[in-house]
Every structure is written in C-alpha cells, then in structure tokens.
Chains A and B, each alone.
Chain A
C-alpha cells in the first residue's frame, strides 16, 4: 500500500517498478555493495579519459615494473605502462562484453524459447534437444572450442560466450511461454487473425522479458569469469588491449618479483563478478513475492 502514497508520480510503470526494485536492493547491505560496484564500473567506463592518469598504451621503458606509488597508483607493468590507467580503460572492455553478450544471448534465447513454447509439438522437441546438447557442456570448454574455431580475438570470444550462454535463457523463456500460451488474451489475438509470429513478438516476448533480464544478471558473473578466463588463456582479447584477464596472463611471468601486475586486475575481476552475483542474489529476493512481504 505504500506505493499508492505517491499520486504525483508521473513515471511510467516499468520505471516505477525499477525504482522500487532499486530501493529494495538498497536496503540489503550485500546487494547495495553490488549496486555500488556496478555503478563505479559504469562511471569509470564512461569517464575513462578523465579518470585515467596516463595513456593506457604509452610505454615508458625507463620506468618498467615500478611498485605502486611514485605517480603510479597501482605501479607499472613490464613495458612501463600505468596499471591503474589500464584497469580504468579495461572497464570499457568489461562493459562491452556485458553489453554485447546480453545483445546476443537475450534475443537468441528469447526467440528459441518462445517459438518452441508457443508452437510446441515436434518443433518444441527438436529445439529443446538442441538446447540440451549445448547445455551438456561446461560453458568455458565449449567457448574454448568455438574460439579455437573462430580464431582468438575479443569479438570472437564474445560470440563464443554468446553461443554457449543462450540455452538456459531459452529454457526459461519456454517455461514462461508455456504458462500463458493458453491465456485468454493470446486467444483473443489469435481470433483477431494475428499471425503466430506477431503473437510471439508482440504478446509473448514482452511477458518473458523481466525474468530473462534477471536470469541474465545472474549469469553475468559466470560470463565475466569465462571472458577473463579466455583472455588469460590468450584466446580472448589480444595484447595490447587492457583486458583484465589478458593483463593477468602477461603479468604472470613477473609475478614473483612484481606482485602488483597480477593482483590489481584480479581484484577488479573479482569485485565485478562478486557484484553481479550479489546483485543477482538480491534481485531474486526482490522479485520473489513471498520474500518481499516478509521483509
């Protein structure tokens, strides 16, 4: 009953819901941490040129492997590049991965899931079999194989992750579709002569969208770790790109004497993936009606 106390609110319903969710997340310390870290990540990526103290690609061979301090907040790497600035620019790469994987996985998963669920029958069986085959692999190993086939690069790593990350989304979208396939409003649309395609796109997909978005947030931590793992194995972003996983891979050789080369990029990966996990955990609670009432 609290939300009715704002009669002047002109916000459209989805934005209002979003605001309520954020307010709910903010009350739990763990998901608040997740929100803060992700906000910092987004701001860092947006304002990278102003936040970074140095050019992330500028080599300074007189100042290689400098420990933190002396004008370099996190020290310098084996080519004298400023590690802090590279991390700041790397935030853009991380966000790019998050964004592109969402753009690839969301539509594929939605399309496969909703069409399979709506059409049903043989088509459904075949589509779900295909989904199961993809699901029968651990995502990193399948992405590894795809990257090997496509050739190592950041974009191919993103494509490979996208190819392996859609099956859970498809399964979810199908389950959702099955619950309101028989709903009256769908029947009404059909009686008005709407084609199957139109019903799927206009009436079913929007209904599946919220749960798909939550699922994507929950999977984002795994996606980030897979991307970093590919970068670490030399199959993702290629040097000199300041991708965090790749930075750890090159820093590995100097690790014993220069701990800062691997420590800071690793902390960055850890905090972002932890943030997504905490946020996903909180979102699950926020959107579970039973939990909402209890708190």
Chain B
C-alpha cells in the first residue's frame, strides 16, 4: 500500500515535470517566433497590399492584442492541434510535416541500426582490450566520427562513391526516373515500393539511402561506442566477473553473457537518445543529399522566414526529445530491478 502510494507520487511528479518542460518549450518557441524579423502580415498579404488589408490581417492574427494574450492564444491553438498555415505551401503546417517525416524516420532508423551495429561491438572490444592497441584504434576511429563536419563528409562521399565509383545513387530518395511511379501509402518508400511490388524502385531507394544513412550512423556510433565502453568497463571491474571465471566459464561467456547482459538496459536508453540526436545530423545531411525530409523542410522555411513552420518544427523536435528522455527513463525503471 505504502509502496503504491510512493509510486503514485513519483508518477505525479513526473507528469508535473513534463508539463512544466512543455510549457517552457512553448514559451521558447513563442519567443523565437515573435523575434523573427520576417513580417508575418506582409508574408500573407504580399508586398503591395493596401493599408486596410494589412491592418485587417494584422488584427485577425491577433497582433494588436497584448503579448501575454497572444501567448495564451498560441497555447490554446497548439493544445487544440492548430499549428497554423505554412506561408510557403499554403497548407496546414502539421500536414506538411507529417508528409515529410517518413523520409527522415526512414533515414534515421537505418542510421541508428548502422550506428548501433558498429558502435556496440567496437565499444565492447575497446573495453575488453583497455589501454591496448584495439582500444586506441577504436578511440581514434570514433573520435574521428565525432569530429567530422557531416555536411562535408557527405559531399566527399558523394564525390567518391557516386561521381567517382558509381557504387551508389546520388541525391534524393530514388532516381529521377522513378519519381511518381509509386503510390504513396505509408510515406516510407521502402515499404511503399514493396507494397506496390516494384523491385526496381525498392533497390533504387536502398541505393540512395545507404550513403547518407551510413554517414549518419558513423557519426552517431562515436557516442554509442564511448558509452558502451564505459558501461562495459564498470561491469568488467566487478567481482562477479572473477567469480564467473573461477566457476569455469570461458572469457567470451563472461564478457557476452554476464557483463554485456547487464548493460543492455543502459544501452537501450543511450540508443534512444542517439536516435534523437540524429535529427540534428539529418538537418545537414538532408541538405547535402537533397533528401526531402524534416531537416530540409526546416532549413527551407528558416531561410524564407516562414514563422509558423519554424516554430512548429522546433516544437516537434523538443517534444521528440522529451518523449525519448521519458521512454529511456521508463525503460530503465522497467528493466533495472535496482530502481524499484
């Protein structure tokens, strides 16, 4: 009874924290939106609208009201799911974003698979061989991934693997030739092309995906490697490892079954956070690879100063981060008996 009471208070505390963070997030996006130099009224009515039209739209947007009232109005709009209309496309911003999101999710998911597939074994290898040459090699390799300007590496990779060697597809999600051939059902090109049974489009999509996803994956593997290494080092130094060895288990068994088994939960939380971090890389890599996703949508709107679109994008990124933090927190509590 007492336990469930504590649990309840914990949950309530968590909900309150999230609510406050969300409120702060909204305040932040509101301030950014108001600070933007682009005149939202001019953007709607055009350069040579009459003074009356201008004032009418100005009042319609509520810009004549005091600033706190504008903020309350913004809060109300967001809470009822109204994120405004994009000036550039004339569509509701949220529809635009839902339309571009699958491209980014597809890219980020492949990237995180590559990043984890690369980072976890490297991290384990480095920890097991601490201070010997494999450790140093892994360290330099992962620091390299962490240090490269990803937009530049993207260009060099395009130069080498696309223009030079012709191994992969160039920019975009598929060859120009196939655009419009596939019905958009889920927005995920790999799934859509399989649903349509079109193998050529599927392989073209894979061909275009592989390079940007590998680069993003490599850059995120730096973080995953480093964390895996330090988690493993914690475990390898524990006494139960010696006990397991004394009991006659092989080195490989103790490393993979005992030590690695214990860090799985921590790894999942790290990978969840790295997945969110990929959004950042996606902004730059999508620009280089002309990938029609969320990152490109955000930068395009930034450059033309489309206030509603930018505010919503920033808000969504913030929400994704809060959500990922929450998920990793929950996973931790669910799977780690010590947190109970």
Contact = CB atoms under 8 A, between A and B. Distances in A.
B193 interface: no
A67 interface: no
A107 interface: no
A138 B280 contact: yes
Nearest to B144: A274
B146 interface: yes
A262 B152 contact: yes
Interface residues of A, number: 47
A139 interface: yes
Nearest to A265: B152
Contact of B37 (A151, A228, A256): A151
A47 interface: no
B322 A233 contact: no
A274 B147 contact: yes
Secondary structure call for the A interface = helix
Contacts of B318: 133, 136-137
Given A138-B279, A141-B317, A229-B149, A150 B21 contact: no
Contacts of A234: 303
A255 B148 contact: no
B159 A256 contact: yes
Contacts of A248: 149, 151-152, 155
Nearest to A251: B155
Contacts, number: 135
A30, A139, A149, A232 — most chain B CB neighbours (10 Å) = A149
Contact of A129 (B21, B153, B283, B310): B21
Secondary structure call for the B interface = helix
A229 B288 CA distance: 11
B35 interface: yes
A121 to B, nearest CB: 17
B34 to A, nearest CB: 8
B276 A142 contact: no
A139 B25 contact: no
Contacts of B31: 149
A30 B133 CA distance: 13
A145 interface: yes
Given A245-B149, A248-B155, A263-B156, A139 B32 contact: no
B140 interface: yes
Given A130-B24, A133-B25, A232-B284, A278 B143 contact: yes
B310 A145 contact: yes
B309 to A, nearest CB: 11
B70 to A, nearest CB: 16
A235 B32 CA distance: 15
B156 A140 contact: no
A148 to B, nearest CB: 4
Nearest to B219: A225
A146 B321 contact: no
A78 interface: no
Contact of A269 (B37, B149, B155, B283): B149
B191 interface: no
Interface in A111-164: 129-130, 132-134, 136-142, 144-151
Interface in A196-229: 221, 225, 228-229
A235 B304 CA distance: 11
8 contacts: A133-B28, A141-B280, A141-B317, A228-B149, A233-B287, A252-B155, A255-B155, A266-B153
9 closest cross-chain pairs (CB), A and B: A266-B152, A149-B35, A138-B280, A133-B24, A274-B147, A273-B147, A148-B302, A140-B280, A136-B321
Given A132-B21, A142-B314, 15 more contacts: A30-B139, A136-B325, A137-B318, A137-B321, A138-B317, A145-B310, A148-B302, A229-B151, A229-B283, A232-B149, A232-B287, A233-B303, A234-B303, A252-B155, A270-B148
Interface of A: 30, 129-130, 132-134, 136-142, 144-151, 221, 225, 228-229, 232-235, 245, 248, 252, 255-256, 259, 262-263, 265-266, 269-270, 273-274, 276-278, 281
Interface of B: 20-21, 24-25, 28-29, 31-33, 35-37, 136, 139-140, 143-144, 146-153, 155-156, 158-159, 163, 276-277, 279-280, 283-284, 287-288, 298-299, 302-303, 305, 310, 314, 317-318, 321-322, 325
